[in-house]
Amino acid sequence: MTQLNTEVEVRDRRLKSILSFSGKASELQEFSRQLKAPDKARTFTQCGDCAQMCAATICYHVRGAAVVVHAPMGCFATTPSTQEAINNSAKSRKVKPFNTQLICSNISEKETIYGGLKKLREAIDEAQNRFHPTAIFIQSSCAAGIVGDDIESVADEKQEELGIPIVPVYCEGFKSKIWSSGFDAGYHGILKRIVKKPEKKQEDLVNIFNFLGTDTFTPILKKIGLRPNYLVPLADVDTISRMTEAACSTHICETLGTYITDVLEKEYGVPKVHAPAPYGIKWTDAWYRELAKITGKSDIVENVIKSEHERIQPELEKLREELKGIKVYIYAGDSYAHNMGSIMADLGVEIVGITTLHHDMRTDGETIDHSTLQEMINVAGDIDKFTVCNKQPYEIIKVLKDTNPDVIIARHMNMTILAGKLGIPSLLEGEINISAGYDGILIMGRRIRDIVKAKGLLSTLKEYNQFPYTQKWLEDERLYI
C-alpha cells in the first residue's frame, strides 16, 4: 500500500479548475498558461451536481465490492442506479453481469449533532452480512464531513476485523465546486487501500481507465500485440489490486484518467502514455506511437498506422462529403469535449461552439503545451464560441440560440432534452469507448449523418414548447449573472 495522504487535494486547488468562461478557446488556453482565472465568474447557479456522483461511477461498479454511502438518504437518492448500464456493458465485453451492492447509513438529524459513526459501523456490518463483499467502499457526504466523523479510524478498525479492504472515499459535495473531484477521491481510496506493488510484470497489458462501455480497445491494441486491462468499472478487487503489473496506463479522457495514471507512474513506475486519448486521426496516431515506444513495438507501429489510414480513407471521404455544411455544437465534460473536437476536425464539420462543464487549468502529469485544449486547437483550429458552464440551462439556451447548430453532441442526457425542445437533433455520447480509434471516427460520422434527419420531427416539438425564461433575459447580452 502506498503512503499517499489521507485525501487527494480537490481540483479547485490542485488543478486551479474553473466553472465559468466565455470567449475563444485560445483565450482560455492563455488564461490557463498564466494560471489566471477569467475576470468574470458566475454569481447565480440554477442547478448543480455532487462529487458523490463521480465517485459512484468508480466505486459502484467494482465487481464483488459493496458501497456504504455514509450520508442522509437524500444524498444517496441523487446517485442514479446503474444496473442496466452494468448489464449492457458486461454483455458487450462478454463477462458476467453482477448486481450493485449498496447501503446507505441513513444519517439523520440526531447524527448531524452527535456524530454518525455508530450508524456507519452498523452499515458496514450490514454490508458484510448481506453481500460478503471482497471490499467495502465508504463514500462520505456533506453531513458526515461537517459533523467531522472519523471515517478513516472506522475503516482501519473494520479492515482489521473483517480482513478485507475498507476504502474511505472523501467525496463530500461542499468540498469542491468541481464534481469531477469525485473521480479523484474514488481513485485515491483505491490507490491507498487496494493497489499493491507488482509481483510480476505483464509486458503486453495496458491499463485502460474508462467508464462502463463496449470492448473496443481489444481490437485497437491487438494490432500492435497488446491487450487491455479495463479499469475500474467491471473489474474485480484482485484485478484492481494488480494494476501495477501493467506495461503502461492510458485512459479514454484526461478528466477521468490523469490523476490515477500520474500516481501509478510516480509511485509505482508504471509509465503513462503521454499523448491525448485516441480520438481523431492525429491523436490516435500520436497515442499509438507513444504506446509503441513504451512497449517496444515501434518497429511495427508505423505500418499499422499507414494501413489503418488507408483502410478508413474511402468511407471517411464519403462521410466528409455527406456531412458538408453541417454545423455541430459540443457539450461535454472538460477533456472529453476536446476529444470530440478532434474527431470533428477529421470529419470536416464546422464546430460552431463548445461548452465544457468545467475547465482544469492544469493537468496531472502533463505540461500546459500538451493539454487537450491545446491539442484540440492544434488539430481543429481556434473555436470562437467556447464556454465553460456547469450545466446551467439559463445560459446554455442562449448559447444554442446564438450558435444555431444542426446537431448537438452531448455527453449528458439533460442537454439532449433541452436541445430537443429547441428543435435541434442531439447525439447522446453516453457510450464513450465506441468513438475511440480510427473506427470511432467513422462511427461518429455515421451517427451525425443519421441524426440530422430528426430535424423535421423536432421542429414540430419546438413549436409546442414553452421555456420559463423572459424575453428580457433571452435578449440580455450577458451570458451569466
Residues in contact with ligand SF4 by CB under 6 A are 50, 52, 71, 75, 78, 141-142, 172-174
Three cell numbers written together for 275: 499523448
* Listed residue (72, 146, 142, 133) closest to 102, CA to CA: 133
Q: How many CB atoms lie within 10 A of CB 38?
A: 15
Judge whether 166 and 124 are in contact, CB under 8 Å: yes
Q: Measured between alpha carbons, how far is residue 351 from residues 145, 158, 423 in Å?
A: 42, 52, 18
Q: Distance between CA atoms of 481 and 195, rounded to whole angstroms?
A: 45
Helix (H) / strand (E) containing 328: strand 327-332
Contacts 24+ apart (CB under 8 A), 408-416: 408/328, 408/329, 408/330, 408/331, 409/328, 409/329, 409/330, 409/331, 409/332, 409/340, 409/448, 410/331, 410/332, 411/331, 411/332, 411/333, 411/336, 411/337, 412/331, 412/332, 412/357, 415/331, 415/391
For 402, left (φ over 0), alpha (ψ -120 to 50), or beta? alpha
Rounded least distance, CB 190 to ligand SF4, Å: 20
Cα dihedral sign for 391, 394, 395, 400?
positive
The angle that helices 413-421 and 455-463 make with each other, rounded to 10 degrees, is 70
Q: How far apart are CA 353 and CA 405, in angstroms?
A: 8
CA gap 125, 145 in Å, rounded: 21
8 Å CB contact between 52 and 137: no
Count CA atoms closer than 13 A to 340's CA, side-chain side: 31
Q: Measured between alpha carbons, how far is 302 from 202 in angstroms, rounded to an integer?
A: 24
| Secondary structure class of 167 (helix, strand, coil) | strand
**How many residues in the chain?**
481
Largest CA distance in the chain: 68
CA 302 to chain centre: 30
